[in-house]
Amino acid sequence: MPPPESSWSNRPASGSPPRSLSAVPDSPAEPPPPEKLLQLVAVGRQDAFERLYDSFGPRVFGLAKRIVRDPSQAEEVAQEVFLDIWRRASRFDSSRGSATSWIMTLTHARSVDRVRSAQAASDRDTKVAQSSTERDVDSVVEAVESAFERTAVRRCLKTLTELQRESVTLAYYSGYTYREVAELLTVPLPTIKTRLRDGLIRLRDCLGVAS
């Protein structure tokens, strides 16, 4: 747990945390109980806050570390807890429990919040990574399927007659119209249409495409 800063200014009216800690005065023989210290913190007593910090700092840090695991994260949680104590000391009600219980409950809640926040961030990263992986897998699957389709088409084209294959290749792989195919092959248009029709039927049956 990092030590507090060297000096405190007066507590701002806005309720923001004091800017720095002053040197801790010599402890009296009988230090006030934490319940009394919290009451004093509630009215802006910086010396009371310092005593709470010294008394509970190690315990707050220890509990936070057990929950969040990471020491640097635990230090941040501990600082947040003492900030809560400074701002919310007036909410402490001794009739509902001890000061120790109140402070350690704050610590537990802050620590759990930090763990949940870290887990949520990790889950988001994992979801993004999985989504990216799924897109990559989909792309690979599509590429493989396309390759299989091209292979199947080439195989099935070999089952056509030479005339059918020639007409289908010109019309569907070279982009010629039926009339242009007829002109290129110097064959009547009705004949080209018949070759294409018969060739496509044979291709459909070979590829297993339902009519």
Q: Does 98 lie in the same domain as 124?
A: yes
Q: Which residues in the chain land under pLDDT 70?
A: 1-29, 121-150, 173-174, 209-211
Does the residue 90 lie in any domain? yes
Q: Does 57 lie in the same domain as 12?
A: yes
Does the residue 152 lie in any domain? no
Q: Does 141 lie in the same domain as 92?
A: yes
CATH of the domain at 118: 1.10.1740.10
Q: Does 98 lie in the same domain as 20?
A: yes
Q: Residue 48: what pLDDT? A: 92
* Cβ within 8 Å of residue 66, ≥6 positions away: none
Q: Residue 124: what pLDDT? A: 66
Q: Which of 146, 170, 187 is the last residue of a domain?
A: 146
Does the residue 151 lie in any domain? no
Q: Residue 79: what pLDDT? A: 92
pTM over 0.85: no
Q: Does 120 lie in the same domain as 169?
A: no
CATH of the domain at 191: 1.10.10.10
Q: What is the 3-state secondary structure (H, E, C) of the chain?
A: CCCCCCCCCCCCCCCCCCCCCCCCCCCCCCCCCHHHHHHHHHCCCHHHHHHHHHHHHHHHHHHHHHHHCCHHHHHHHHHHHHHHHHHHHHHCCHHHCCHHHHHHHHHHHHHHHHHHHHHHHHHHHHHHHHHHHHHHHHHHHHHHHHHHHHHHHHHHHCCCCHHHHHHHHHHHCCCCCHHHHHHHHCCCHHHHHHHHHHHHHHHHHHHCCCC
Q: Residue 127: what pLDDT? A: 60
Q: Does 187 lie in the same domain as 164?
A: yes
Q: Does 173 lie in the same domain as 141?
A: no
Does the residue 153 lie in any domain? no
Q: Does 91 lie in the same domain as 60?
A: yes
Q: Does 132 lie in the same domain as 48?
A: yes
What's the structural domain count of the chain?
2
Structure-block tokens of residue 12: 């701002």
Q: Does 175 lie in the same domain as 107?
A: no
Q: Which of 112, 146, 180 is the last residue of a domain?
A: 146
Q: Does 205 lie in the same domain as 127?
A: no
Q: Residue 121: what pLDDT? A: 67
Q: Does 72 lie in the same domain as 129?
A: yes
Q: Residue 128: what pLDDT? A: 53
Instruction: Give the domain range for residue 165.
Output: 158-211
pLDDT digits (tens, 9 = 90+) for 152-201: 777 878 888 888 888 887 887 667 788 888 888 888 988 988 888 888 88
Q: Residue 148: what pLDDT? A: 53
